Amino acid sequence: MLLKKIGAKSKDYLVLFLKTSSIHGLNHLVAPRRHICEICLWLFVLIISIFGSIYLSQTTWLRYQSSPTVVSMDRDMYAWNTTFPCVTICNDQKVDPAKLEQFIQSRDVKDKGELKAFLLALANATFTSFDTIPIYKDVDPTQYLDILLSISTGFKPSLTIGVLGRDLEIIPTITEMGLCYAINSKVAVYNSPNYLKAKRWDMIKDQNDSLMVHPLDGEVFAHIMNLSSSYYVYVHGPLEGPDIASKYQHSPKMFYMKIYVTAITVYTSPEAASLTIGQRRCRFAHENNLTHFAVYSYTYCKMECRARLCLKYCKCLPYFYRAIGDEKICDIEGLHCLAKHKDALYKLRDNRGQKISCGCLPICEDVNYVIQSNDIQEWFLGTNLQWGIASYPRMRYRRDIIFGFTDLLVAVGGMAGLFLGCSVLSFLEIIYFLTLRLFYYTRTNLRN
């Protein structure tokens, strides 16, 4: 008997809601003297309308989640500064003969010539040449990096930056090509020997800002003079670094190389920066999801991908990667194992030629440099390098919001209004009938 009364009151309450609701079509379901066919027709129309509203609203939501940004162009070249080109220089001669000889004499080994050949091969080996390292087991793999740093050639050239009077810092950095030296970079310090040796993972707040130039500064060039050997030079943005697959320029010893570039800048507006990573499809340096690097960059992400492949193929990492937890540094057998997979590690493609998915996103604040000219000539005064911006960019790219949260609300509200004729008040009515109105309705019936 009690259950029948509760069922009857619940039915009356539902009819009350359907009669008074501002959502179009609901009142026709409970209007008096309606044929069953009319009720079924209106029920069908309501179901179709609800489905259409939900489907189109879901499509709009997916658009907001996947592509709410657009890349536009700024053309006022005098309204912004451009980052001076960053370079990373890697010496061909990575080992100082005097330091190497001193180190070998300090070691108690039977065959010093064998140790010398091993260290020279190790210092110059990369993913493409690990198989050239001779077998030598008297050196602990965890000491490879420290030994190579102790016998590395010095890098103390003369560096000038034209008429600006600014000092550029030369930062030693560990790369996939061994020990290199970065200039005007903001991320190289996170791979520097001192940072790695201190086992740091924190962001460095007090480092110098990158050098910025303006069209009114005129032609600005940097000069490095008296390099100790032939070298490879990589030109990149301030928040990026080189990897084994990056493009480079090579200069023999006793040559003067002049590199002139133009810049293409991509930056993100504050509004777009407030979106999630998946929405803007780029990452800032502090939005790091890498386990072997303290900051994020696109090339660091590719290096992280290679590190995962090294662990997958050979259960170890080459000495220039940072080992985490119980990860091992590769010994000679491990390096020779990596050489068997050098194509996959270098090109990041599998045996079928398919690109290996690394999940790497571009950085949100990026500067790409396009080399316009590379002039190299023999120079009897030493091995020198000059680089700079040949022509200032006349436009830059801006990542901005084209479909924001307000647009999402308007679109979803339009769908609800088009199909059901409802508004925000209609949804508040539903909440009202499920809470406050239901409470007083129940209390009144209990009293009666």
The three state secondary structure string of the chain is CHHHHHHHHHHHHHHHHHHHCCCCCHHHHCCCCCCHHHHHHHHHHHHHHHHHHHHHHHHHHHHHHHCCEEEEEECCHHHCCEECCEEEEEECCCECHHHHHHHHHHCCCCCHHHHHHHHHHHHHCCCCCHHHCCCCCCCCHHHHHHHHHHCECCCCCEEECCCCCCCCCEEEEEECCEEEEEECCCCHHHHCHHHHHCCCCCCCCCCCCCCEECHHHCCCEEEEEEECCCEEEEEECCCCCCCCCCCCEEECCCEEEEEEEEEEEEEECHHHHCCCHHHHCCECCCCCCCCCCCCCCHHHHHHHHHHHHHHHHHCCECCCCCCCCCCCECCHHHHHHHHHCHHHHHHCECCCCCECCCCCCCECCEEEEEEEEEEEEECCCCEEEEEEECCCCCCEEEEEECCCHHHHHHHHHHHHHHHHCCCHHHHHHHHHHHCHHHHHHHHHHHHC
Tokens of 332: 């000679």
Q: Measuring CA to CA, which residue among 159, 173, 144 is closest to residue 316?
A: 144
Give bridge partners of residue 78 from the DSSP assignment: none
- Residues 271/401, Cβ–Cβ less than 8 Å: yes
Q: Measuring CA to CA, which residue among 439, 282, 434 is closest to residue 363?
A: 282
| Domain presence at residue 149 | no
- Residues 83/263, Cβ–Cβ less than 8 Å: yes
| Domain presence at residue 413 | yes
| Domain presence at residue 52 | yes
Q: What percent of the chain has pLDDT over 70?
A: 98
Q: Measuring CA to CA, which residue among 275, 207, 229 is closest to residue 92?
A: 229
- Residues 224/89, Cβ–Cβ less than 8 Å: yes
Give bridge partners of residue 251 from the DSSP assignment: 231
First to last CA, the chain: 16
Q: Is the pLDDT of residue 35 over 90?
A: no
7 confidence band (pLDDT: 50, 70, 90): confident
Per-residue pLDDT averaged across 255-283, rounded?
Answer: 91
Per-residue pLDDT averaged across 179-200, rounded?
Answer: 92
| Domain presence at residue 174 | no
| Domain presence at residue 113 | no
165 confidence band (pLDDT: 50, 70, 90): low
How far lies 302's CA from each of 25, 232, 246, 347, 354, in Å?
57, 20, 11, 10, 16
Per-residue pLDDT averaged across 9-15, rounded?
Answer: 81
Q: Is the pLDDT of residue 12 over 90?
A: no
Per-residue pLDDT averaged across 305-313, rounded?
Answer: 94
In Å, the largest CA–CA distance within the chain is: 110
| Structural domain boundaries enclosing 47 | 1-66+404-447
Q: Measuring CA to CA, which residue among 296, 278, 274 is closest to residue 287?
A: 296
Q: Measuring CA to CA, which residue among 219, 212, 224, 211 is closest to residue 251?
A: 224
- Residues 92/232, Cβ–Cβ less than 8 Å: yes
- How do residues 49-80 score in pLDDT, each as one tens digit? 989 999 999 999 988 888 888 888 888 888 88
Within 13 Å, how many C-alpha atoms sit on residue 244's CB side?
A: 24
Close Cβ partners of 327 (under 8 Å, ≥ 6 residues apart): 311, 316, 317
CA distance 112 to 104: 6
Residue type, 428: L
| Domain presence at residue 25 | yes
Q: Is the pLDDT of residue 448 over 80?
A: no
Phi, psi of 60 (to 5 degrees): -65, -40
CA distance 384 to 282: 37
Q: Is the pLDDT of residue 160 over 90?
A: no
Q: Measuring CA to CA, which residue among 245, 249, 246, 243 is closest to residue 261?
A: 249
Q: What was the pLDDT predicted at 164?
A: 60
- How do residues 190-231 score in pLDDT, each as one tens digit? 999 999 999 999 888 877 778 888 888 778 888 898 888 899
Q: Other C-beta atoms within 10 Å of 442: how many?
A: 13
| Domain presence at residue 50 | yes
Per-residue pLDDT averaged across 402-426, rounded?
Answer: 87
Name the one residue in this structure whose structure tokens are 């194509």.
Answer: 343
- Residues 222/388, Cβ–Cβ less than 8 Å: yes
- How do residues 93-141 score in pLDDT, each as one tens digit? 999 999 999 998 888 877 888 889 999 999 999 998 898 999 988 889 9
163 confidence band (pLDDT: 50, 70, 90): low
> How many structural domains comprise the chain?
1
Determine which of 215-224, 291-300, 310-319 has the lowest per-residue pLDDT on average: 215-224
Q: What was the pLDDT predicted at 233?
A: 95
- How do residues 360-395 score in pLDDT, each as one tens digit? 999 999 999 998 888 999 988 889 999 988 888 888
Q: What is the pTM of this model?
A: 0.84
- Residues 125/335, Cβ–Cβ less than 8 Å: yes
Q: Is the pLDDT of residue 4 over 80?
A: no
Within 13 Å, how many C-alpha atoms sit on residue 126's CB side?
A: 18
Residue type, 427: F
